[in-house]
Structure 1
Amino acid sequence: MHRKIIGFVLFVSCIFLLGACATNSNNKTKTTATSTTTSKKIDLNSLELPQLDATIHEDETVVQMNTTAGDIKIKLFPKIAPKAVENFVTHAKEGYYNGVIFHRVINDFMIQSGDPTGTGSGGESIWGKGFAPEISNQLYHIRGALSMASSSQANSLGSQFFIVQNNKDVSDGLAIQYYPEKIIEAYKKGGSPSLDGNYAVFGQVIDGMSVVDKIASEKVTTNDAGEDSKPVNPVKITGITILQEAK
């Protein structure tokens, strides 16, 4: 995969970027998170919002990401984002992520990993080619969201992913015609709404956000593209264990 999401600086020399990150995570937007299943106008407040549900259901997969900074438990949503979950879980089972570093961290925004080369421009999907993001109006980039990194190209998802870490209130300016009321409330605890509708959330951290915060606060230096996001002492993923697989 040729992956690299780019945050606050527009990288002229790099192919890959996280386009919505051209503004910081506190940017107040009214981006519509569109449904992958219907174009009909619906009552957003009637939707199931699995990120906000503390219960682990049979149709959800649960994994534990073991890192050199601690463990992170995440539940995945194969019913809503089947390809992203299949890709991530298959890679995890095959040890693809073992030893992979968090190569890009931006405190008060997100932490990124999934590239075996550690450069931010490597990795690939389990199919050997990119795939399209599964955008849903049931999943949002609230604090703790696990989302797929992608490039500016269509069908470019591969192996890289990021976890939203920002813990500042970003709910101001979010309108009810674009967001369920419970999601607006969740954004008071942090997140990055500017990514909604553009990047594919497929999981949510349910335990270990203190580890995510620790990784995000690691000392960084300037990378080759001029962004202060390259960890001086990168945290590694030592393994990912499947605790429950969706039925």
Structure 2
Amino acid sequence: MLRSTLGALLAVGLLAGVAQAQDEGEIMVIEVAGEANGTVEIQLLPEIAPQHVERLTTLAREGAYDGVVFHRVIDGFMAQTGDVEFGTQEAFSGGQAGMGGSSYPDLPAEFSDVPFEKGVVGMARAQNPDSANSQFFIMFDEGAFLNGQYTVVGKVIEGQDVVDAIKRGGGRNGTVSSEPDVMQDVYIKGEG
């Protein structure tokens, strides 16, 4: 009796801990305009990647992501955005979208065992694992080859249909050459 009661209390405590951990992560909201038109909500995962999540929330609160395009979109793989330096609608025609970051320093990798599945949000980076800055990508499908190689920062909890409708790019690199979809407004839920 005592053992089963302790077991039940332990199970309830563990479930409460999981629920609390999920509640602690803020939700980043992205209002998308273009071919894809709608709202995407991303549950951020600070317990997995605290520095990267802090960077995303900081840039969202500063309005740095507002007007930034989806510059690299590969069908069956992912949609990439977040270049606050060269990825704005105004700067897009310059052909440098995807080459910039923010005014903040690059971040050290925070790799985890969270798998890259449909809807998972990861931080984009260069060859150096410690080069993520402001750019991120949202998965269209499973991408196990990314597991343990890129930092996971969140998961789409609402609006995956909007993500799936983002205008695709061309070529192997998925570069969007004209009229890209844009993150019109990005904010933290409850603050925007």
Structural RMSD (CA)? 2.3
Which of 169, 180, 186 is the matching residue for 1:220? 169
Match in the other structure for 1:238: 184
SS in 1 for 2:118: coil
Which of 89, 102, 111 is the matching residue for 1:124? 102
Contact 1:75 1:204 in 2 (8 A): yes
Match in the other structure for 1:195: 146
Q: How many residues align?
A: 162
Larger radius of gyration: 2
Match in the other structure for 1:43: none
Given the alignment of the two structures, is residue 163 of structure 1 paired with residue 138 of structure 2, yes or no? yes
Q: Taking every aligned residue pair, what percent have the same amino acid on both sides?
A: 36
Quick one: structure 1 residues 228 and 157, their matched pair in 2 at CA, closer, same or farther if it must change by over 3 Å? closer
Which structure features the higher share of helix residues? 2
Quick one: structure 1 residues 199 and 244, their matched pair in 2 at CA, closer, same or farther if it must change by over 3 Å? farther
Which of 69, 81, 84 is the matching residue for 2:49? 81
Given the alignment of the two structures, is residue 134 of structure 1 paired with residue 110 of structure 2, yes or no? yes
1:201-216 pair list within 5 angstroms: 201-215=152-166
Instruction: Give, in angstroms, the shift of residue 241 of structure 1.
Output: 2.2
Contact 2:140 2:164 in 1 (8 A): yes
SS in 2 for 1:230: coil
Quick one: structure 1 residues 158 and 219, their matched pair in 2 at CA, closer, same or farther if it must change by over 3 Å? closer
Quick one: structure 1 residues 122 and 62, their matched pair in 2 at CA, closer, same or farther if it must change by over 3 Å? same
Work out the CA distance in 2 between the residues paired with 1:123 and 1:212.
22
Instruction: Give, in angstroms, the shift of residue 243 of structure 1.
Output: 1.4
Contact 2:71 2:176 in 1 (8 A): yes
Contact 2:74 2:168 in 1 (8 A): no
CA shift digits 1:131-152 (9 cap, x unpaired): 1121112x22010001000111
Instruction: Give, in angstroms, the shift of residue 231 of structure 1.
Output: 4.5
Quick one: structure 1 residues 112 and 207, their matched pair in 2 at CA, closer, same or farther if it must change by over 3 Å? same
Work out the CA distance in 1 between the residues paired with 2:168 and 2:19.
32
Quick one: structure 1 residues 72 and 95, their matched pair in 2 at CA, closer, same or farther if it must change by over 3 Å? same
Given the alignment of the two structures, is residue 147 of structure 1 paired with residue 122 of structure 2, yes or no? yes
TM-score (norm 2): 0.77
Contact 2:72 2:173 in 1 (8 A): no
1:91-106 pair list within 5 angstroms: 91-106=59-74
Instruction: Give, in angstroms, the shift of residue 75 of structure 1.
Output: 0.3
Quick one: structure 1 residues 136 and 220, their matched pair in 2 at CA, closer, same or farther if it must change by over 3 Å? closer
Work out the CA distance in 2 between the residues paired with 1:83 and 1:67.
25
TM-score (norm 1): 0.60
Contact 1:147 1:199 in 2 (8 A): yes
Work out the CA distance in 2 between the residues paired with 1:237 and 1:133.
25
SS in 2 for 1:108: coil
Gaps of 5+ in 2: 1-13, 88-96
